[in-house]
Amino acid sequence: DGCGAGEAAASGPHGFGVQGCTDEMPAKRKAICIGINYAGSDAELRGPVNDALRWVDVLTCSLGFPREGVLTMIDEYPSGELVAEDDPNYPRPTQENILEGLDWLVQDASEGDSLVFVFSGHAVQIPDTIAMDSDARLDEALCPVDWDAFEWGVVPYRVITDEVLHQYFARLPSGALLTVVIDSCIAGSA
């Protein structure tokens, strides 16, 4: 199962060692782990891919998530080679793939399910295009690997705003457990 010899998957409906639960239907455990190094770009990072792969290990080896229930998106293999466009094990973390992954994560979620979203990579602040007041508001946004691909007539960057994430996560039913881990910073000059 990919876990070390001394590691065992946790028991209980949510992987936290809970005993004595009598759920009629077993709870689902699903996760998306995204790590983007932005390899070869001016914005290259050196740790996000490793972070995502370590999260996969923690979820599958320590918290009882089934490996097939963890979608892993990286842009670079640990060897330093770019992930192939057609790699069935590691989809590239493009905006389109991340949005499809979010659909997969929240679809068919039920009360008692444990869902995890992990993102390690760049984030930005962009002007809020639908601000209701005259104050200049900024939206926070995650940067997929193709964040700088311009789309005419649309937001000048392919980012995933906090509002977009909220639209997906708001589809979850009451009683579903969602854990979100975002390892990003928004850097700028003063």
In the chain, DSSP finds a helix count (H) and a strand count (E) of 3, 7
Comparing C-alpha atoms, which of 142, 155, 102, 112 is closest to residue 25? 112
Contact status, residue 43 vs residue 71, Cβ threshold 8 Å:
no
Residue 122 falls in the annotated catalytic set: yes
Task: Name the token pair of 95.
Answer: 């905006």
For the beta sheet containing 160-161, the strands, ordered from the edge strand earlier in sequence to the opposite edge, are 123-127, 138-142, 160-161
Q: Residues 6 or more apart from 47 whose CB is under 8 A from it?
A: 37, 120
Among 3, 21, 33, 122, the active-site one is 122
Q: Which of 3, 14, 143, 185 is catalytic?
A: 185
14 is catalytic: no
Q: Report the DSSP beta bridge partners of residue 14.
A: none
Residues with a catalytic annotation lie at 122, 185
